[in-house]
Structure 1
Amino acid sequence: MKNILLFGAGKSATVLIDYLLANAPRQKWHITVADNDLMLIKSKIGKSYYATPAAFDIKDPAVRQQLIQETDLVISLLPPALHIVIARDCLQFNKNLLTASYIDPEIRKLEKDIKKAGLLFMYEMGLDPGIDHMSAMKLIHSIEKKGGQIYCFKSYCGGLVSPESNDNPWQYKISWNSRNIVLAGLSGAVYKEKGKVKEVEYHQLFDQNKTVQIPGLGKLAYYPNRDSLSYVDVYNLANIPTFMRATLRYPDFCEGWNALIKLGLTDDTRKQQTNHMEYFAWASQNIPVDPNLSHEENVAAFLGVSSKSKLLRQLKFLGILNGELINLEEQTNAGVLQHVLDTKLKMEPSDKDMIVMLHEIEFERRNMGTKLHSYMIVQGEDNLRTAMAKTVGLPLGIMAKLVLSGTLELTGLQIPVMPEVYNPVLRELEEYDIRFEESFE
């Protein structure tokens, strides 16, 4: 029997655990789920014969390394900063590793050692990054195989609230790690448009008001992802004039988030005592306050909007314009905002989320220009088996099957851009209604 060790039992792990347990009898797997929350693990694995809970502090090297030594494959869904700890152990004990997170500079330092050991460390094997790479590379390879010359590549992806659960002025609910949402875009963005490298600072990122049309949904806003250009060589598109990867949101979210940035509420650099601070004092700490105006009027004046505007409705919905105490220990502004989002924008049990992905590729073949639209919409089932959990977890589960069955001969530090990975993974994802629709113009 093969042993799989999964680190992390949080939001993104639910459907992955379901998949691993459903496949366990046929594949002859046993799954150990490691997390610091025993009750959380048990809520995910139930009473399955094929799963064992391991509740401990992941930073405890003795327990962690013992578990890694005893397994055949490691999957990490821990916060990104902890992956390197797991990776070093996997290298030491000669274990393959799968994760949905980005390749970072720390893991790059181990690249030669991973290759030398004959191990496979497959990173970026989730949704975005993950399904975006696989679906894009399948299209790119198909176009190139038919003699097409690509000159414009744009890829968009967003975790959104499903229309039937879209009932707040932010048009957003939390379906994954809220800290990632608070800090999204902090480093700005770099991409290429019409032959010119474009750099966008964080304070400008959500103020672009650019939209794309999604069939059945209408217009969605987007903002470019951090460093799109780091993928031009990976996609073998280094010489094309336009290359951009971007995040999708409903337009109202981007407008509201831009206001939070202007107020300085996403800052994560300086901690302050917030346990006896009123929310309005916190929200207005970076703006001039006129004592003759109300809380709402002061914020509205700073943002240059009416006190009856949509922006003010959004801020009032979060409860940050009232006199309630924050009641948190020392926090950064980003920490307070994360707490607010987790409270006010949480998914209720009956809520559903939605994943939208779109590739726009323009290419020339036989002196004729063509624009390809390839899009995917995935609906969640409830607030546990979310579209986010499906699209992050299932690629990892399918990849685990490929590795443990011995059908994949691949080593080194990789991301899923090769046909021997994307073809079987995308094919099996279609069985779970994760598929793309294409149109040409």
Structure 2
Amino acid sequence: MKTLLLFGAGKSATVLIDYLLQQAQSNDWKIIIADADKNQVLAKTNNSPLAEAVQIDITKGEQRAELIQKADIVISMMPPALHFLVAQDCVTYGKNLLTASYVDDQIRNLKSEIENRNILFLCEMGLDPGIDHMSAMKMINEIKAKGGTITSFKSHCGGLIAPASDNNPWHYKISWNPRNIILAGSAGAVYKENREIIEEEYQTVFENCELISFPGLGQLAWYPNRDSISYMPTYNLENAETFIRTTLRYPAFCRGWDYIVNLGLTDTEDHDNIMDCETYADWLERKLYLVEDSEMSLEEYVDLYVHEDFHQEILSQFNFLGLNSNNKLPKAAQCSADILQFVAESKLAMQPDDKDMIVMLHEIEYTIESSKLKVESWLRVEGTDSLRTAMAKTVGLPLGIAAKLILNGTITLTGLQIPTAKEIYDPVLKELELMDIKFTEKVI
């Protein structure tokens, strides 16, 4: 009997847990699920005898080590900052590790130790990053196999609200880590477009977002993801004239969020400036004052800074969040980002009957001999309900499938990897198709 250890039973782990329990029965696995809230684990496993629920403080080394030593493979669904604690123990005890998070510098610094231990650390094995890598590499390799030269690569992905549940002026509801949503774009962005390296500061990331047409949904807007350039060698596209990885939103969201950012409502270091604010109206008034160093109402700000076509839209968005209300600010808030996160988690929460939606679109332009061609490949997945969301499906299932393929010997790679190798992406994408996570491709 093989033992699979999962750290974390939060929002994105729900469908992963379902999958692991299904596989445990047919593959003779033992599943251990460790979380700070044992009752959450028991609820998500429905007290299944196939799973052992463990309450853990992930920062306690002895507790972690005891569990990791029992495992044949470890999946971490903890917040990215905590992966390193698990990773260090996996190196120490020679255990394979899977995560859905980006490879950070701490994990990267373990590369030689991972190789020396002859174990596999498979990171970026979720949705974005994850399914985006696998589907893109499949397309890239197929084009190259036909003798094509890729000139432009654009990859777009977004977690949105399904049309039937879209009932607020932001056209958005929270289906994953709310802090990441609040701080999205804060690192700025760098990408390549028409042979030119473009660097964007946080204040411009959401400004004048470009539009794409998505089948069945109409127009969506995209903003660039952090550092696209670093993935050019990963995809073997160093010579592409354009290389951009982006996040998709409905256009109204990007228009509204641009003003949220530029008013400083996502600031993380403004405690001293807002500490005497008591209500949301006080907070917004303080931020509006900083625009012109004079008192200004929200309506006056909109008249001055927002195109007249979108006056009502921006006012509706701000009023929907209650940013101009006399409600008391959350006592625990230490900065503007904390306040906005509290508001967003309340006002943009998924309701029990809501369904979220994942959309992904790859646009690749290439040449074969003298012919210029373009291929588009798109994916649309809707959630089952507010618990088994599209986000939980597309983040969790690739991890579960990869774990199975490692345990049964289909994936034999070792070292620090992301899912760009055919040995990984081929079988994982094939199983995802059986679960209706399937791309549609069109050559233009």
> Which bin holds the TM-score, normalised by the shorter protein?
over 0.9
Cα distance change, pair 31–270 in 1 and its aligned pair in 2 (3 A): farther
8 Å CA contact 1:284, 1:299 repeated in 2: no
Instruction: Provide the secondary structure at the position in 2 that maps to 1:248.
Output: strand
In the TM superposition, residue 270 of structure 1 has moved relative to its aligned partner by 3.5
Which residues of 2 match residues 18-417 of structure 1 at below 5 A? 18-271=18-271, 277-288=278-289, 295-301=297-303, 303-304=305-306, 309-417=312-420
8 Å CA contact 1:399, 1:425 repeated in 2: yes
* Distance in 2, Cα, partners of 1:417 & 1:330: 41
8 Å CA contact 2:279, 2:327 repeated in 1: yes
8 Å CA contact 2:289, 2:296 repeated in 1: no
* Distance in 1, Cα, partners of 2:58 & 2:276: 29
1:21-56 alpha-carbon deviations (Å, 9 max, x no partner): 011111111111111112211111112111011112
Identity over aligned residues, as a percent?
A: 51
* Distance in 1, Cα, partners of 2:138 & 2:306: 46
In the TM superposition, residue 294 of structure 1 has moved relative to its aligned partner by 8.2
Cα distance change, pair 304–422 in 1 and its aligned pair in 2 (3 A): closer
What amino acid does structure 1 have at the position aligned with 2:360?
Answer: M
Instruction: Provide the secondary structure at the position in 2 that maps to 1:309.
Output: helix
Instruction: Provide the secondary structure at the position in 2 that maps to 1:121.
Output: strand
* Distance in 2, Cα, partners of 1:436 & 1:137: 13
1:302-334 alpha-carbon deviations (Å, 9 max, x no partner): 644679621011000001101110132241111
* Distance in 1, Cα, partners of 2:79 & 2:180: 10
Which residues of 2 match residues 425-440 of structure 1 at below 5 A? 425-440=428-443
Structural RMSD (CA) = 1.8
1:136-183 alpha-carbon deviations (Å, 9 max, x no partner): 000000000110111110000000000000000000000000001011
* Distance in 2, Cα, partners of 1:429 & 1:398: 8
1:242-288 alpha-carbon deviations (Å, 9 max, x no partner): 10000000000001111111210111124357696100111232222
Cα distance change, pair 341–388 in 1 and its aligned pair in 2 (3 A): same
8 Å CA contact 2:8, 2:33 repeated in 1: yes
Instruction: Provide the secondary structure at the position in 1 that maps to 2:287.
Output: coil
* Distance in 2, Cα, partners of 1:302 & 1:58: 49
* Distance in 2, Cα, partners of 1:102 & 1:327: 31
* Distance in 2, Cα, partners of 1:92 & 1:275: 49
What amino acid does structure 2 have at the position aligned with 1:404?
Answer: L
Instruction: Provide the secondary structure at the position in 2 that maps to 1:207.
Output: coil
Aligned pairs, number: 441
What amino acid does structure 2 have at the position aligned with 1:316?
Answer: N
8 Å CA contact 1:16, 1:393 repeated in 2: yes
In the TM superposition, residue 335 of structure 1 has moved relative to its aligned partner by 1.1
8 Å CA contact 2:94, 2:119 repeated in 1: yes
Deviating more after overlay: 168-177 vs 276-285: 276-285
8 Å CA contact 2:288, 2:295 repeated in 1: no
Instruction: Provide the secondary structure at the position in 2 that maps to 1:287.
Output: helix
Instruction: Provide the secondary structure at the position in 2 that maps to 1:264.
Output: coil
Deviating more after overlay: 168-177 vs 277-286: 277-286
8 Å CA contact 2:221, 2:251 repeated in 1: yes
* TM-score normalised to structure 2 length: 0.96
* Distance in 2, Cα, partners of 1:213 & 1:181: 23
Deviating more after overlay: 381-390 vs 304-313: 304-313
1:176-232 alpha-carbon deviations (Å, 9 max, x no partner): 000010111111110001111011111001012310011111110000100001100
In the TM superposition, residue 239 of structure 1 has moved relative to its aligned partner by 1.0
Cα distance change, pair 235–293 in 1 and its aligned pair in 2 (3 A): closer
* TM-score normalised to structure 1 length: 0.97
What amino acid does structure 2 have at the position aligned with 1:345?
Answer: L
* Distance in 1, Cα, partners of 2:127 & 2:316: 32
Cα distance change, pair 49–274 in 1 and its aligned pair in 2 (3 A): farther
8 Å CA contact 1:275, 1:329 repeated in 2: no
* Distance in 1, Cα, partners of 2:287 & 2:80: 31
Task: Tell me the equivalent position of 2:6.
Answer: 6
8 Å CA contact 1:318, 1:340 repeated in 2: yes
What amino acid does structure 1 have at the position aligned with 2:225?
Answer: N
8 Å CA contact 1:274, 1:328 repeated in 2: no
Instruction: Provide the secondary structure at the position in 1 that maps to 2:216.
Output: coil
8 Å CA contact 2:277, 2:283 repeated in 1: no
Deviating more after overlay: 29-38 vs 340-349: 29-38
In the TM superposition, residue 296 of structure 1 has moved relative to its aligned partner by 3.6
Instruction: Provide the secondary structure at the position in 1 that maps to 2:288.
Output: coil
* Distance in 1, Cα, partners of 2:190 & 2:311: 36
1:31-82 alpha-carbon deviations (Å, 9 max, x no partner): 1111111221111111211101111211111111111111111100111100
* Distance in 2, Cα, partners of 1:308 & 1:130: 38
Cα distance change, pair 286–348 in 1 and its aligned pair in 2 (3 A): same
